[in-house]
Amino acid sequence: MVQINANYLKLKAGDLVPEIGRRVAAYQAGHPDAKIIRMGIGDVTEPLPAVCVAAMHAAVDDMGRREDFRGYGPEQGYAWLREKIAARDFAARGCAIEADEIFVSDGSKCDTANILDILAPGRVNVIAVTDPVYPVYVDTNVMAGHTGEAREGAEYEGLVYLPTTAENGFAPPLSERRVDIVYLCSPNNPTGAALGRVDLERWVDYARRHETLILFDAAYEAYITDPSLPHSIYEIDGAREVAIEFRSFSKTAGFTGVRCALTVIPKTLTGTAENGERVDLHRLWMRRHTTKFNGVSYITQRAAEAVYSDEGRRQVRETIDFYMGNAKIIRKSLVALGLSVYGGVNAPYVWVKTPGGLTSWEFFDKLLGEAHVVGTPGSGFGQAGEGYFRLSSFNSRENVLEAMARLKEKVRL
């Protein structure tokens, strides 16, 4: 009889997204005329930038001509894309990242999960996550056997949780217990908070002192509006020795259905082997990437490249400004209702304190029942998310205005 990976049995049942789906479906079944507006899942709604569409069409034509046809590409990504990324995303911000330290991939979710392949199996590393947290960081560590069982209140034994709440300005406190790995996501999903230079300097300093690896998820960096905030961890001195950065075209250029992302592993980053020897993580990831991945399609990489043209940058900015316009409307409407509102300034997510001591799920049911508006309960992201609620600004203007009008008119707070 085949043996299964028993770590999967430790995963908490009733995951956030299916539970939202279940409640919405049950409500819709009982109220077939209700026009439900979904502001829960953070998925882009605007079409691809025109430059990307044109680049993809041209790339398809290339593939149809014998002289331009391409089979397998380099697993790490085509040099013409990596060089543009290095120049525009990193060198332009003063970060010393070389094109060959960039790995093009099909998504940051996959990369943040797959990176565990090159780190010690079992419960060797002490791993810290923020609370609330993007659930993928936790679940992939459970799957890899890096944790014990889920405890009462749904924390996994063996993980270090760093609470980020209104009380600490949503900036993860340095771990009192020494940790080997820490996940930082800025701008943050779900809280919408972006870390400042000082916050990042504290973490880089901590990582250098404790030989901690920072897994820095910058999937939402394009949403930063405050010019004083860093977009990359490599804007901080010393980060090349301690951090891996994940970036994505998903939220930047509407690629959630196209699939393209990148991971940066500086050649100066090392980990320790069992015998104490320092080993280059870039080399290990290269080995992993070339063995388990055959590269992102040529057509997709041409679309990603188009994002870096002057016109591409203008079009991307226009779409992001549109979503941030939604965020502004959401923020303003919720503040007018007397709610405590966070995020939505440097991130597409608005994070709101539930009123009157309601739990996150109680507030979810209230908004669904009274206004037919769906958001994401903060408790689904961790214990410290209890009493909070996330609204996504990825939507049409019409839906956002309609949802906010309903909140004003129909919800009794």
Which residues would be at the binding site for ligand MLT (CB under 6 A)? 41-43, 109, 189
Type of residue found at 301 = Q
Distances in Å between the alpha carbon of 52 and those of 56, 103, 110, 371? 6, 20, 23, 37
Contact assessment for residue 77 and residue 104, using Cβ atoms and an 8 Å cutoff: yes
Tell me the C-alpha distance between 159 and 165, whole Å. Answer: 18
DSSP classification of residue 133: -
Of the two residues 248 and 270, which places its CB atom closer to ligand MLT in the complex?
248
**Minimum CB distance to ligand MLT, residue 247 (Å):** 13
Tell me the C-alpha distance between 404 and 391, whole Å. Answer: 11
Of the two residues 103 and 255, which places its CB atom closer to ligand MLT in the complex?
255
**Minimum CB distance to ligand MLT, residue 248 (Å):** 8
**Minimum CB distance to ligand MLT, residue 66 (Å):** 38
Of the two residues 41 and 401, which places its CB atom closer to ligand MLT in the complex?
41
Of the two residues 42 and 49, which places its CB atom closer to ligand MLT in the complex?
42
Tell me the H-state helices in 160-266: 197-210, 250-253
Q: Mind giving me the DSSP string for 24-87? A: HHHHHHH-TT---EE--S----SPPPHHHHHHHHHHHHHHTSTTT---S--TT--HHHHHHHII
Provide φ and ψ at 128, rounded to 5°: -115, 140
**Minimum CB distance to ligand MLT, residue 114 (Å):** 15
Count of Cβ atoms closer than 10 Å to residue 101 Cβ: 22
Of the two residues 189 and 263, which places its CB atom closer to ligand MLT in the complex?
189
Tokens of 251: 């939220």
**Minimum CB distance to ligand MLT, residue 42 (Å):** 3
Contact assessment for residue 247 and residue 257, using Cβ atoms and an 8 Å cutoff: no
**Minimum CB distance to ligand MLT, residue 77 (Å):** 20
What does the chain come to in residues? 413
**Minimum CB distance to ligand MLT, residue 189 (Å):** 5
Q: At CA 66, angle to CA 61 and CA 68, rounded to 5?
A: 60
Tokens of 120: 């010690």
Of the two residues 55 and 104, which places its CB atom closer to ligand MLT in the complex?
104
Of the two residues 19 and 43, which places its CB atom closer to ligand MLT in the complex?
43
Of the two residues 86 and 350, which places its CB atom closer to ligand MLT in the complex?
350
**Minimum CB distance to ligand MLT, residue 48 (Å):** 17
Of the two residues 42 and 343, which places its CB atom closer to ligand MLT in the complex?
42
Reduced to 3 states (helix: H, G, I; strand: E, B; else coil), residue 243 is strand
**Minimum CB distance to ligand MLT, residue 109 (Å):** 5
**Minimum CB distance to ligand MLT, residue 243 (Å):** 21
Tell me the C-alpha distance between 79 and 98, whole Å. Answer: 11
In the sheet that 181-185 helps form, which strands lie side by side, from edge to edge? 102-105, 261-264, 243-248, 213-217, 181-185, 127-131, 159-163
Chain residue whose CB lies nearest ligand MLT: 42
Of the two residues 266 and 375, which places its CB atom closer to ligand MLT in the complex?
375
